[in-house]
Amino acid sequence: MNKLRLILILFAAFLAVFWEAAFPGTSRWLKAQVDLLPALMVFASLSVNLPGVIALAVCGGLFFDSLSANPLGISILPLFTVGFLIFIRRELILRDQAYAQFFLGLAASAVAPLLSVLLLLTGGHQLLLGWGSLWQWFVMSAGGAISTPILFFVFDWCERAFGPSRVTESSFRPDREIRRGRN
């Protein structure tokens, strides 16, 4: 596993949760908050190994729950479930296609909040659910779908900028002699 990629993913999870808590601009305009952790989980599931997916689920879930009204640790299982389901099918997914990234982000951003609500209801917590919740769920899903291809682009750019350059192997060797003629 690329350590730089995992460090960037965990740092991005911290920044995403901090951004959501410190700058509530989108939540004021749209009356719903966009969660970037499911989109980040899509990238991690397609880019790192299973311990990296687990690390993002645990760290991202704890970061998110520490700054929200959720009980601490309730977001870990939905994030891990989304990440694991994508991870086990990663060979079949077209990672470099923007439409695949879009629909994976849409699905992840739709499923993770539903699993969180299901866990909260199972735990006996009183939730404020109504027609406005459908609007918030729609905005979260659309925001995650739009942000997933952007995250792929940003992480690929960071890896090209900060990672080691790739050496291309050439079939031409400079010490090779080419004989021409009939002999």
Can you tell me the mean pLDDT for 32-38? Answer: 90
In this structure, is residue 153 part of a structural domain? yes
Q: How far is the C-alpha of 171 from the C-alpha of 164, rounded, in Å? A: 22
The single-letter code of the amino acid at 89 is R
Kindly tell me if the per-residue pLDDT of 165 is higher than 90: no
Tell me the pLDDT tens digit for each residue of 120-158: 999 888 888 888 889 999 999 999 999 999 999 999 998
In this structure, is residue 175 part of a structural domain? no
Q: pTM here?
A: 0.85
Number of domains in the chain: 1
Kindly tell me if the per-residue pLDDT of 87 is higher than 90: yes
- b/e map 94-119, b = 16+ CB within 10 Å: eeeeeebbbebbbbbbbbbbebbbeb
In this structure, is residue 67 part of a structural domain? yes
Q: Give the residue numbers spanning the domain of 133.
A: 3-162
Average pLDDT, the chain: 89
pLDDT value, residue 183: 60
Kindly tell me if the per-residue pLDDT of 49 is higher than 90: yes
Q: How far is the C-alpha of 30 from the C-alpha of 148, rounded, in Å? A: 19
In this structure, is residue 91 part of a structural domain? yes
